[in-house]
Amino acid sequence: MSFTDLNVWTFIMVIASIGVSMLLASTLKHFLPFLKKTLMPASVLGGIILLIVSTVVYYAAGTYLFDLSVFGGNGESGYSGMQVLELITYHCLGIGFIATGMRSSNKKFTARRAGEIFDSGVFTVNGYLIQAFVGLIITLLAVCVFHTEGMISAAGLILAFGFGQGTGQAFNYGNIYEQSYEFAGGANFGLTVAALGFLVACIGGVIYINVMRRKGLIKIDLEAKERRNTIADYEDENELPNVSSVDKFTVQIAIVLAVYALSFGIMYGISALLPDMADTIFGFNFFIGVLLTLPVKAMLNGLYKKKVVKMKIVNNFMMDRISGMAFDIMIVAGVAAIQLPLLAEYWGVLLILAAVGTAVTFIYVNFVSKRLFPTYRHEQFLTWFGMLTGTASTGMILLREIDGSYRTPASENLVYQNLPAMAFGFPLMFLASYAPAGNLESLITCAIVFVAFIALNILLFRRSIFKKRFAGRYAEAGEGNEPAAEEGACDAPEGEDGEK
């Protein structure tokens, strides 16, 4: 190996470009007030900057920015820069979810709060389902009626992954559809849907905040912006020292990567048994990683109780930093990897998907927030709308504008809804591997998604639909028919974490 070989520097140059783009984006947001007002994350803006530069280079030099020789060229002797971007998008998804899953929590919830979190998980899956349904309708029409060349009828499912789950999953399934089902430009299609989702989240969220402010229904939370962190925000009692024979941050990274390596072993083993489903199985890298965090945390808790390990190993603050960095890098890489010229045939479909997806998401989120969470409907709306068009972090960015001190349970609903959402959503995700088999399969999937959406909405609004049956149970538990609406359900807590 010669260190003068440009391929040796491909990964470093790509990561450096991602870092520089985020620094430039942060600088622009600082000096350009209109960018700051959009609440657009620096990662999204950084990705857009690289996308613009890459597209300009393509039309000027005939190749994309990250396919230039300084980024490894066409990858004949290694990975090209464009391939590295795709690898980063894929792996950062898994790493980010594992770091989030490794966070420990000693919080205990009342029956009412547990019910709200359960409802939040069911709602999240319903958000995916309604996006998948309208997406399938649009692409079924595009393929079967308008005969859009190169597209498959199941492409509309990517709306649920791009809007509902973000860059990583949109790329995963777009790439699977491209490699296994001949969807020309599928990976770029998925990345573009995700990028449009971020724009919808930022622009739509800001418009909502401004409209509601003018009506006097919400106000900007200035208290949180003046708050200073304390040592309790960075570590709990009896944790590893920051610096000893090994740095504390190194331990956190080692734990995350060890869990991710174990998830690879599991995916590899399952793929050996089911070779026809290998692409689908490896598309669930994030989900398997999150599942593995449960036994790992249980094992650590057992060691703590038996005093085998006397100091806490996992630090929540550092795990947040790892997941935050992973998701930031993933978003920049995902947006920068878009190859706009490959999408020339699909722009009409993409814009229709984005417009219809935005409309149905806005209407459904607003309806559920108003109906189930009336005492903090605006906080819940911003959180869910940001999550279901961008990512969870986008939802938190919008929420912080009006509830930066986290006085309402909206932030907790976003964090803890993952488990019930995965429980209900994971079986349905296999439909994403069934639908692209053909037009009939896509139509059947569309019908199944619609039925599942109706069924889960019955579950979500069970208190209203079966009011008499549930009235006695809620009375015994001290709850009303509408848990969030009961007096005192959302009183301001005494602390940032939302505990009384």
Structure tokens at 496: 């940032």
Cα dihedral sign for 195, 200, 206, 209? negative
CA distance 300 to 294: 10
Let me know: does 218 contact 378? Beta carbons within 8 Å.
yes
Amino acid 482: pLDDT: 46
For 24-45, the pLDDT digits (tens) are: 999 999 999 888 888 888 999 9
pTM of the model as a whole: 0.84
Alpha helices by DSSP H, 62-110:
81-101
Quick count: other Cβ atoms within 10 Å of Cβ 329? 22
Of 192, 145, 149, residue with least CA distance to 170 = 192
User: Which residues have CB under 8 Å from 229's CB, separation 6+?
Assistant: none
Q: In a 3-state reduction of DSSP, which class is residue 239? A: strand
Let me know: does 227 contact 405? Beta carbons within 8 Å.
yes
Q: In a 3-state reduction of DSSP, which class is residue 237? A: coil
Amino acid 223: pLDDT: 63
| Helix-strand-coil split of the chain, %, nearest 5 | 75, 0, 25
CA distance 335 to 47: 5
Quick count: other Cβ atoms within 10 Å of Cβ 217? 11
For 379-389, the pLDDT digits (tens) are: 999 999 999 99
pLDDT along the chain (500 residues), means of 10: 82 95 95 87 94 95 90 69 92 90 75 87 95 97 94 96 90 92 94 95 91 86 59 73 85 96 96 85 85 92 90 90 92 94 92 97 96 93 94 86 83 80 80 93 96 96 81 53 41 37
Of 52, 25, 53, 43, residue with least CA distance to 331 = 43
Amino acid 490: pLDDT: 41
Ramachandran angles phi, psi of 312, nearest 5° = -70, 135
CA dihedral of 45, 50, 56, 61, whole degrees rounded to 10? 180
Quick count: other Cβ atoms within 10 Å of Cβ 462? 14
- Per DSSP, the residues of 325-336 read HHHHHHHHHHHH
Structure tokens at 338: 């878009």
Amino acid 75: pLDDT: 57
Amino acid 97: pLDDT: 85
Amino acid 151: pLDDT: 96
Let me know: does 459 contact 368? Beta carbons within 8 Å.
no
